[in-house]
Structure 1
């Protein structure tokens, strides 16, 4: 069977059919699908990660390989009104981050030593320092400069807190499995400070502002305090990481809430402290907010993909226009969530 062809030109007009390939009296008819002028296409575009998107018909989904030192695929949709939707980089992971994930898996499985843990923590800091190049599939650098990255995750119906906070928790677990003695390692970058170690002080306060000169830590009012004398033994193993997040909108509890503090991750390992209360002072990131509640990220929340915010086991002790004091009866990842657009009444 021979085939007759026909070209749709750039003006959206069908040209004359081409019967050259027809050597018999019968030819299969060409595909007369809709002929659309290229002026109605999504225009050629280069996004902020230098991925080139060629001109495409409306309602077309495009998938490309991730560019640069990244593995995986990035996708983008040319919508029905000739506008490119935001690229989806959730499947793009840097080769360096992928390597750290493999090293972490080796640590958790037991094949590790202290030096390797230290290298991993330092590498995590170095890789995420230039956060303008991170994709949303990476461990997110979530300062204000990455508003667009947060938006990518929010559009997907997922919380941007999940990736980085969960990864930090895994690093902390791995670290405490392989260290002995009382000491700590502090890793600092422009939006994350992570302090991991063991101690037996009467009172633990994080972050230790004497160990870093970063202005965002010094200027932040957020502080975690745990008195060890409420535990059955003074010697407890602790680790802590603190991460700063912005622009994370959370739909929960029948209304709209924003995270209005840094996110603080505090974990106690070992069995010596089973009954305690954790006091956290959260400095507010923005004003004109009200209705604070002390939340934590529950990774195993029912009917969710990556978890959800919860207020279980927490209470607001005091709140002003600049800070909120929370009390928790457990350790995990904490933040203050508030309703925007209203003025706080002092309590």
Structure 2
């Protein structure tokens, strides 16, 4: 459960972690960074009695939070770890951060996440390494003038009399923390549906949606999901995919499962006036990120030293997917050249240095 206060760029959260204990231990160590911990509670699963916490502390040097218990947790037992905390909606484009845009002379703000590679720990205490997959059930409380998005669709929304609303999202499949995502914004959207029933929406500034600047990305996303499902013989894993166009982002895009985030310049365009090179650039970014919904999200590297594998697949499919969309561009013939150049740059970087 997370409450976002956009007027002062802070948020508060309550995390409930279901722990399966393999080896008896008095210590619980998980990642947390740049947050204030208000309370910690450990209880045996489905039992009222708690396990007394002797002390707890943040250790900034390694970005972890340590819980020291009065007695050891027993092996082969389940426990619930509850942490109440608060933190800032940062202004540095990592973790849970804020961005803004101007509409009708008014500056509007939004909050969005960027967790890859190790920034989920800035948004909530968690086991923030790719090998530790878990299911997540997220709830976001925000002012009713905003909407919230996450990896999964909204299950229920509870409206309060004071102008706040809490959105409860469906539970995710097993997934790593780095592509968990959420956003709090006042965007609008356009929608399409694939042949297999996947709902695809593109969210952006209201004026950009009104102009149709996201229509190109929305339409090719639908076609690409259908293409990948047929090519990989593996259905898309979630009921929806949202594309979020944000004014500022540290990367061109991020392949969060079910909620992919793009910087505006890599997803919004007007095909009638955009150059072919710009159209190609936008297309290949979208093709790349959608491939990650399978290679990276569904199948995830155990550790960051293996990240080249998911990126290699996505880079290769930049050409395969674009060739599917535009057969006349003959993109597949460029794959060999692209990979040879990449290998030379990696193997002989000095030959490309400028004196």
Give the TM-score taking structure 1 as reference length.
0.26
Give the TM-score taking structure 2 as reference length.
0.26
Answer 1 or 2: which has greater helix percent. Answer: 2
Which of the two has higher C-alpha Rg?
A: 1
Answer 1 or 2: which has greater strand percent. Answer: 2
